[in-house]
Amino acid sequence: MGFVPGRIEIYKQALTHQSHFRNKNTKMKDNERLEYLGDAILDAIVGDILFRKFPFKGEGFLTEMRSKVVSRNNLSNLARKMGILSHIQYNISNKRNQSFINQISGNALEAIFGAIYLDKGYHFTARFFEKRIFKMYIDIDHLEEEVISYKGKLFKWSQQSRKKLELKCTEKPLDNRMLYQIAVIVDEQVMGEHEHLSKKKAEELACKKACEKLAI
């Protein structure tokens, strides 16, 4: 990371997924609360960086760019580039589930920034992110061209093309949680399907597959 941590226990917590404790009696904490905190901290830091970097851009552009920088997909890619996965404690029975791996990697990165904030304070965290993450790993030009919502893109296309579009959701219980299976149906034809523990994520990935199949 390039600095010496003070409160090492919160960094260990940041790298501990809840699945690591399954079927175990423990008082140790997982990284969900730190993930929540890191998410809020990153929103503020990225918003400030973009505000300074694009002095003549409006609110809409800045909001969209911030969403792209802190999106689950982008954070998962950042975590992969940084090699964070090899340090996360999780239930290894999920190691071949790429969707799960991407999710816990991005979540762990958010949790790490929650830990840095608690350990070093906001100004240190902001400087660290801008110098060691934003400038080294984030390609703003590429993100500008990236589609932020395949669901929005698909609905806009369906309206312009006068196509009937339906997102069908099927819920299945899985380990005391709910697994959402989304099917994208265009004019009675299934054009994309995906399942995820997050309904929003399942919709977005199903819509992405549909966009690719429809070449839009």
Do residues 112 and 38 make contact, with C-beta atoms less than 8 angstroms apart? yes
DSSP state letter for 174: E
Helix spans in 22-162 (H): 32-53, 59-69, 72-82, 98-120, 122-128, 135-137, 140-145, 150-161
CA atoms 32, 120, 138, 39: torsion sign: positive
Contact between 31 and 79 under an 8 Å Cβ cutoff? The reply is no
32 annotated active-site = no
Residue 39 appears among annotated catalytic residues: yes
110, 119, 130, 203: the active-site residue:
110
Asked if residues 174 and 150 have their Cβ atoms less than 8 Å apart, the reply is no
Cβ atoms 169, 199 nearer than 8 A: yes
CB-CB contact of 10 with 118 (8 Å): yes
CB-CB neighbours of 77 under 10 Å: 17
Q: Which of 9, 32, 35, 39 is catalytic?
A: 39
φ, ψ of residue 63 to 5 degrees: the values are -65, -45
Active site residues: 39, 110
